Amino acid sequence: MLDAVPPKCYPDEMFTRAQMVYNAFAIYDNTLGFSVGNEDNPQRSKKPGGIQTAPCVKALLRDTRNYAASCAFNLRQVRIGLDNADIQPREMFLSY
């Protein structure tokens, strides 16, 4: 991700990859959903001038959802979302 305003903040290759993954897996009836990002923190550096990733991730999510909607006539619709953080469930299990 580049430190730029969407939609120019992610390369065309990233969107092409999202399209390829969607096309490859939407045909299977056991695909429940897709995530366009994994642990994309809104700001990678808390220092002034840190890279803001949230606008770019949201733009990629929006563009991928729009692509999926445009394929509705020939591909099964699958939900597309975002995984902000992988949280260890250990604490929850210990307090259960």
The predicted model scores a pTM of 0.72
Count of domains forming the chain: 1
List the domain range (segments joined by +) for residue 57. Answer: 12-94
Average pLDDT, the chain: 79
Q: What is the pLDDT of residues 9-18, one digit of tens each?
A: 788 898 999 9
41 within a domain of the structure (yes/no): yes
For the segment 89-94, the average pLDDT, to the nearest whole number, is 69
7 within a domain of the structure (yes/no): no
31 within a domain of the structure (yes/no): yes
Exposed, middle or buried, 55 (CB in 10 Å: 0-12/13-18/19+)? Answer: middle
6 within a domain of the structure (yes/no): no
**Is residue 66 very low, low, confident or very high in pLDDT (cuts 50, 70, 90)?**
very high
How far is the C-alpha of 29 from the C-alpha of 58, rounded, in Å? 26
Residue 32: what are its φ and ψ, rounded to 5°? -90, -30
> Per-residue pLDDT for 86 more than 70?
no
33 within a domain of the structure (yes/no): yes
